[in-house]
Chains A and B, each alone.
Chain A
Amino acid sequence: MAKDLKVYNHLNYQEQLSEKEDGFVEFLLQHTEMDAPEIDENKAWEKLNQKIHNPNKGFVWMKIAAAVTILAVLSISVFLYNPTPDQLYIASADQKVSVTFPDGSVGILNANSSFTYPEEFGNERNVSFQGEAYFDIQKSNKPFIIDVNGVDVKVLGTAFNLITTEKEVKLYVDRGLVAFEKEGEQTQVSAGNEAIFNRETAAVSFNEIPSENIMSWRNGVFNFDKTPLSKALEELGEYYNVEFELSNEKLQNCRLSMSFNKEPLNKVLETISTALSIKTTRKNDTVKISGQGC
């Protein structure tokens, strides 16, 4: 039954869409998900049982988009359009974007992140968010609530860094007090702490010594202390918008101990090369690193 339908879909779709044929429709067709991915029947049965026996306990997640990727050729920097008449949608592609909300609060989007918020705030200040951003929130008695795919982050006039992925929501508080809220249950996080909300188990865990460079993407200040080279490069790559390629596995064993403060990338590369006796070759957005390793 399903198979017949598929064939029919194809024909129908093609027939209806074929205007001047330049292969675009064909291209769409060839890259349409036609086969349902395999699923785990036993898991589904367990889930159904849970719904039957504990009807209100299930946590209704918004469909979490699958991790996807994009071709490097795309370098659209800012999308700005209205999903609904009174909602603004702002997304950054490969650059940081600073956004001032209607109440004067500021959000700085890291690359590949986005906000959706109303033109005017009502009794609550609601913002939906994806990716990574730094927030500096104006004090007000109207709560500032950030919706991160079903988990609310409630803000009490403060500054913090927020990262959301399919698996978790990471919150690092720079100043003040922030709370995770889920079904009325609050977990408060104070300045200098990082809390991680695990989407699967709905548990909140604390990280007392968050990554040294958690705010670096915003301010360009990096402090490395015997940091594994691969980790350091990952952080630097995010800030400078480049990808690093190691030519040799042994390079992974190298450790970096140095600081940078908004230096241009060439200077950073030069410093690293000297320190580790390695060679860096930059071509467009890729930096190749070669050397003997450690």
Chain B
Amino acid sequence: MSADNDLLLFQQVKSNDFSSYEVIFKRYYKELYRFAFTYVRDSTIAEEMAQEVFLYIWEKRGNIEIQTTLKTYLYSAVKNKCLNYIKLELPKQQSMADVSEVMLSVSMPKKDEGENEKLKKYIQSAIDALPKKCRKIFMLSRNAGMTYEEIAEELDLSKKTVENQMGIALKKLRESLDLVYKHYKENMN
């Protein structure tokens, strides 16, 4: 599993060896998926991010020159994919997400789910229903663990704007989760 071995494998991929490609996939797919999940917090999307990176390295194998290690290359590719997803794709999907998430949240009871799971999903629905800009910033902060400065730079906004948007996000979440939170607190006491 050494870095040398990785680069050797990748050399073979570059000369069209599909079985070496499979070895790389099996070695890194799961951890890259988990890494993507820390950004997008959605298993389907996280898989998609990891898949896209693997698809890319096969399709562009001829042109990819790895300067560092294969592992570093893959991780930074996944990170970029995820940040782009949060910045560009997520806002596009929002109107759909609103509809499906919020509604499904009311509609399809799943019996084997614990109370905690329900709460998690309900909170996620509320996050998904935040206004686009707000949600993007909230996700970069919460998921990607970026500071206000980093987010401001990434999105080309002022730090003040980022702070305001985070304030709005929290206010809206408080509003939409009001009943859920009250109920939760009652049950805790």
B141 interface contact, C-beta 8 A: yes
With A9-B143, A16-B166, A70-B118 in contact, do A45 and B103 touch (Cβ < 8 Å)?
no
Task: State whether A66 touches B46 (Cβ < 8 A).
Answer: no
Interface-side segment among B2-10, B62-70, B92-100: B92-100
Task: State whether B122 touches A70 (Cβ < 8 A).
Answer: yes
The minimal Cβ–Cβ distance linking A106 to chain B, given in whole angstroms, is: 19
With A68-B110, A112-B106 in contact, do A45 and B29 touch (Cβ < 8 Å)?
yes
Residues of chain B from 140 to 189 with CB closer than 8 A to chain A in the complex = 141-148, 166-167, 170, 173-174, 177, 179-181, 183-185
Q: How far is the CA of A74 from the CA of B97 in the complex (A)?
A: 20
With A1-B75, A69-B108 in contact, do A13 and B141 touch (Cβ < 8 Å)?
yes
Partner pick for B30 among A41, A68, A79, CB 8 A cutoff: A41
B12 interface contact, C-beta 8 A: no
A73 interface contact, C-beta 8 A: yes
Task: State whether A68 touches B183 (Cβ < 8 A).
Answer: no
CB closest residue in chain A, given B142: A13
A44: chain B residues within 8 A (beta carbon): 29, 33, 47, 50-51
A264 interface contact, C-beta 8 A: no
Residues of chain A from 199 to 251 with CB closer than 8 A to chain B in the complex = none
B29: chain A residues within 8 A (beta carbon): 41, 44-45
Q: How far is the CA of A240 from the CA of B50 in the complex (A)?
A: 46
B121 interface contact, C-beta 8 A: yes
The minimal Cβ–Cβ distance linking B4 to chain A, given in whole angstroms, is: 20
Task: State whether B103 touches A16 (Cβ < 8 A).
Answer: no
The minimal Cβ–Cβ distance linking A39 to chain B, given in whole angstroms, is: 6
Task: State whether A63 touches B97 (Cβ < 8 A).
Answer: yes
Task: State whether B180 touches A116 (Cβ < 8 A).
Answer: no
Q: How far is the CA of A71 from the CA of B179 in the complex (A)?
A: 9
Task: State whether B185 touches A84 (Cβ < 8 A).
Answer: no
Task: State whether B148 touches A16 (Cβ < 8 A).
Answer: yes
Task: State whether A165 touches B108 (Cβ < 8 A).
Answer: yes
With A16-B166, A51-B55 in contact, do A116 and B98 touch (Cβ < 8 Å)?
yes
A83: chain B residues within 8 A (beta carbon): 94-95, 98-99
CB closest residue in chain A, given B98: A83
B83 interface contact, C-beta 8 A: no
User: Which of A24, A37, A65 is the most central at the interface, judged by chain B CB atoms within 10 Å of its CB?
Assistant: A65
A19: chain B residues within 8 A (beta carbon): 167, 170
The minimal Cβ–Cβ distance linking A132 to chain B, given in whole angstroms, is: 9
Task: State whether B25 touches A45 (Cβ < 8 A).
Answer: yes
Task: State whether B174 touches A24 (Cβ < 8 A).
Answer: yes
B20 interface contact, C-beta 8 A: no
User: Which of B44, B58, B110 is the most central at the interface, judged by chain A CB atoms within 10 Å of its CB?
Assistant: B44
Task: State whether A89 touches B121 (Cβ < 8 A).
Answer: no
B42 interface contact, C-beta 8 A: yes
Per-position 1/0 for A1-20, Cβ under 8 A of B: 11001101100110011010
Interface-side segment among A27-35, A186-194, A252-260: A27-35
Q: How far is the CA of A70 from the CA of B30 in the complex (A)?
A: 31
B44: chain A residues within 8 A (beta carbon): 63-64
B99: chain A residues within 8 A (beta carbon): 83, 89, 91, 114-116, 128-130
Per-position 1/0 for A177-196, Cβ under 8 A of B: 00000000000000000000
With A32-B120, A64-B100 in contact, do A71 and B125 touch (Cβ < 8 Å)?
no
A17: chain B residues within 8 A (beta carbon): 166, 170
The minimal Cβ–Cβ distance linking B84 to chain A, given in whole angstroms, is: 16
With A17-B166, A89-B95 in contact, do A48 and B51 touch (Cβ < 8 Å)?
yes
A32: chain B residues within 8 A (beta carbon): 41, 120, 123, 142
Task: State whether A68 touches B121 (Cβ < 8 A).
Answer: yes
Nearest 9 A/B pairs, CB to CB: A112-B107, A36-B37, A83-B95, A68-B121, A9-B145, A67-B108, A65-B100, A69-B109, A31-B119
A-B contact pairs, 17 of them (CB 8 A): A2-B37, A16-B141, A16-B166, A32-B120, A39-B30, A47-B51, A48-B25, A62-B100, A65-B100, A65-B104, A70-B118, A71-B183, A111-B107, A113-B103, A116-B98, A130-B103, A149-B100
Interface residues, chain A, with chain B CB atoms under 8 Å away: 1-2, 5-6, 8-9, 12-13, 16-17, 19, 23-25, 27-28, 31-33, 36-37, 39, 41, 44-45, 47-48, 51-52, 62-71, 73-74, 79, 83-84, 87, 89, 91, 93-94, 111-116, 128-131, 149, 165-166
